[in-house]
Amino acid sequence: MFTGIVTDIGEVVARDDGQFTIRTSYPAGELEIGASMACDGCCLTITSIKPEAQGSLFTVDTSNETRDKTTIAEWAAGRRVNLERPLTAGQELGGHVVTGHVDGLARIVDITQDGESLRLSFEVPDHLAAYIAPKGSVALDGVSLTVNEVSDNRFGVNLIPHTLTVTTWGAKTPGQSVNLEVDLFARYIARLLEFRP
């Protein structure tokens, strides 16, 4: 379980088919083999850890399913990824409840300046649009964000300067796809409504 509050930007340093090695500033002593790590919003399992002077290297394995449903298929050495370690008991829930189970891809349609912030609009597949509501929550590349407006299969968010600085969002451009996780509660409510008598 995660909150969508990114705490480090990692860098992919190697790819071997479906296995990725990622550099992080997290000390090796704070990571565990078998533990989860949200990488651009994808909950992945740490399979090895190597200490470094300024942090550590860790590896994750990905399945065909994960690569088919996320941006991971595009990852190569040099890619920067948002990282978040799992929520622990007693920790502040600063974003919203995020599972790390990516539902699909959202495509950046437009980016415009809005004061000191950026306003971004996205297009999503029709089957995911129903789960996105104004003032609801979404996780995009692992970042918890509030939805501003929704129109058919498009929606918009604002990114404040802090978010642009501490995540990979400051480098995004129109046309790029990002990992989308819809709100957990919206997903379950929609499922329950399917079985309403």
Query: Whole domain around residue 47: which residue ranges?
Result: 8-84
Is 94 domain-assigned? no
Contact by Cβ (8 Å): 68, 132: no
pLDDT, position 96: 78
Order across the sheet with 149-151: list the strands: 143-146, 137-140, 177-182, 104-114, 117-123, 154-159, 149-151
Q: Find the CATH number of the domain harbouring 187.
A: 2.40.30.20
Is 156 domain-assigned? yes
Residues 125 and 182 in one domain: yes
How do the pLDDT tens digits run along the chain, 197 residues long? 899 999 999 999 999 999 999 999 999 999 999 999 999 999 999 999 999 999 999 999 999 999 999 999 999 999 999 999 998 766 666 667 889 999 999 999 999 999 999 999 999 999 999 899 999 999 999 999 999 999 999 999 999 999 999 999 999 999 999 999 998 766 656 665 666 66
Q: Which residue, of 27, 54, 84, is where some domain finishes?
A: 84
Residues 131 and 54 in one domain: no
pLDDT, position 197: 63
Joined together, the tokens standing for residue 136 give 């609801």
Number of domains composing the chain: 2
Residues 108 and 80 in one domain: no
Q: 49-98: per-residue pLDDT in tens?
A: 999 999 999 999 999 999 999 999 999 999 999 999 998 766 666 667 88
CA-based max dimension of the chain? 60
Cα separation, 76 vs 73, in Å, equals: 9
- Encode burial over 105-116: b for 16+ CB neighbours within 10 A, e otherwise: bbbbeebeeeee
Q: How open is the CA angle 9-89-21, to the nearest 5 degrees?
A: 30
pLDDT, position 89: 66
Is 3 domain-assigned? no
